[in-house]
């Protein structure tokens, strides 16, 4: 681990640093509380700290309180804090725990005790990291389509509502594109649902590769896709839809030894209206998509 130690006593600091390095840890050593705060709250700061209780600038408890406040406000990862102290009174320990301290190390420290307490903190941080990863997996499962990796319908509608509010606030246009695969039922009927899934995955990848970082793409349902294009006027949105159409039609999709031709029909709607309902904008894009289907498919309609 990367461990920050803050201690204004040179001998104590060097002994602590040497002991931690012998255990295989990378050590960042500072001499006061202000430097500790700067290091811990900086970009990619250490998530493990051993702080002297009494030191210049902010003392160990004050540093810990700042960390806990930042974690509550910003949701930054948890930092495990051990306080290095010669205090032994029960009321002092209670005060430290109330400040958010995780553990104590008595000065002068014993190397075996140091090792045990660092290992204990490491287990806590590993457990939290596993929980955060599990939480992120659940979030992705709840908001993304399992087959294509794009947003699912619910997430797309939530994002559209947010983008409409942002567009109204900033006075900028917002465009949406409804896209539907042409003749997809025939792919499933002729080549099977496994081939259909391969087509959907490949089409999603081609669509995603052609949009900007701040654009959004969703599998809206079945073989239908939705693009959210913040800040795009009619011309820009039409160009984006044409790029998606070209990307899908440009190459055959390989599946189970077959090479399948695939095309998209797309409908585009753009708004600068304040307070427009998300469903109204989607309805307009859907009407344009219907015109693209009836006018020959593999085309874009506004």
pLDDT tens per residue across span 219-235: 999 999 999 999 999 99
**Highest mean pLDDT: which range of 94-98, 167-171, 285-289:** 285-289
Mean pLDDT of the chain: 91
169 to 162, 165, 232, 238, 276: CA distances (angstroms):
11, 6, 15, 24, 12
Give the per-residue pLDDT at 260: 83
Reported as a pLDDT band with limits 50, 70 and 90, residue 15 is very high
Q: In which region does residue 64 sit, left (phi positive, over 0), alpha (psi from -120 to 50) or beta (all else)?
A: alpha
pLDDT tens per residue across span 241-260: 999 999 999 888 877 677 88
Give the per-residue pLDDT at 11: 92
Give the per-residue pLDDT at 46: 94
Average pLDDT in the 261-266 region?
Answer: 94
pTM to 2 decimal places: 0.67
Give 301's DSSP letter.
E
Give the per-residue pLDDT at 76: 80
Reported as a pLDDT band with limits 50, 70 and 90, residue 118 is very high
Give the per-residue pLDDT at 42: 86
Q: Which of 274, 138, 159 is nearest to 215 (CA)?
A: 159
* Residue bearing the bigger pLDDT, 106 or 203: 203
Task: Enumerate domains of the chain plus CATH numbers.
Answer: 2-141 (3.40.50.2300), 153-301 (3.30.70.270)
pLDDT tens per residue across span 52-68: 988 888 889 999 999 99
Average pLDDT in the 90-107 region?
Answer: 86
Give 76's DSSP letter.
P
Give the per-residue pLDDT at 261: 87
Give the per-residue pLDDT at 61: 92
d(CA 236, CA 216): 15
Residue 44 bears catalytic tag: no
pLDDT over 90 (residue 239) = yes
Answer for the pair 108, 12: CB distance below 8 angstroms, yes or no: yes
pLDDT over 80 (residue 28) = yes
Catalytic residue among 7, 182, 223, 286: 223
pLDDT tens per residue across span 151-205: 999 999 999 999 999 998 999 999 999 999 999 988 888 888 888 899 999 999 9
pLDDT over 90 (residue 81) = yes
Give the per-residue pLDDT at 96: 83
* Pure H helices in the chain: 10-22, 33-41, 60-74, 90-98, 111-143, 153-170, 184-191, 193-209, 234-249, 278-294
Structure tokens at 37: 């705060």
The pairs formed by 90-94 with CB atoms below 8 angstroms and a separation of 24 or more are: none
Average pLDDT in the 91-114 region?
Answer: 87
Give the per-residue pLDDT at 145: 94
The percentage of residues in the chain with a pLDDT greater than 70, rounded to a whole number, is 100
């Amino acid at each position: 681990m990367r461990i920050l130690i803050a201690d204004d006593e040179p001998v104590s600091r060097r002994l602590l640093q040497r002991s931690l390095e012998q255990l295989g840890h990378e050590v960042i050593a500072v001499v006061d509380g202000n430097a500790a705060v700067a290091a811990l709250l900086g970009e990619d700061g250490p998530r493990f700290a051993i702080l002297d209780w009494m030191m210049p600038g902010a003392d160990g408890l004050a540093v810990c309180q700042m960390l806990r406040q930042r974690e509550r406000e910003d949701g930054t990862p948890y930092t495990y804090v051990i306080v290095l102290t010669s205090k032994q009174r029960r009321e002092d320990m209670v005060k430290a725990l109330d400040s958010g301290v995780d553990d104590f190390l008595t000065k002068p420290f014993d190397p075996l005790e140091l090792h045990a307490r660092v290992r204990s903190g490491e287990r806590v941080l590993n457990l939290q990291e596993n929980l955060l990863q599990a939480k992120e997996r659940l979030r992705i499962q709840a908001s993304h389509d399992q087959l294509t990796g794009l947003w699912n319908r619910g997430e797309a509608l939530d994002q559209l509502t947010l983008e409409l509010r942002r567009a109204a606030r900033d006075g900028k246009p917002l465009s949406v594109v409804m896209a539907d695969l042409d003749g997809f039922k025939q792919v499933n009927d002729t080549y099977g649902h496994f081939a259909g899934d391969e087509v959907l995955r490949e089409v999603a990848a081609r669509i995603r590769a052609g949009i900007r970082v701040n654009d959004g793409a969703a599998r809206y349902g079945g073989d239908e896709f939705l693009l959210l294009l913040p800040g795009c006027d009619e011309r820009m949105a039409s160009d984006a839809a044409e790029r998606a159409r070209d990307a899908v039609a440009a190459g055959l999709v390989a599946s189970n030894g077959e090479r399948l031709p695939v095309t998209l029909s797309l409908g585009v709607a753009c708004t600068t209206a304040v307070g427009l309902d998300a469903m109204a904008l989607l309805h307009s894009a859907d009407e344009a998509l219907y015109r693209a289907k009836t006018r020959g498919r593999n085309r874009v309609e506004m």
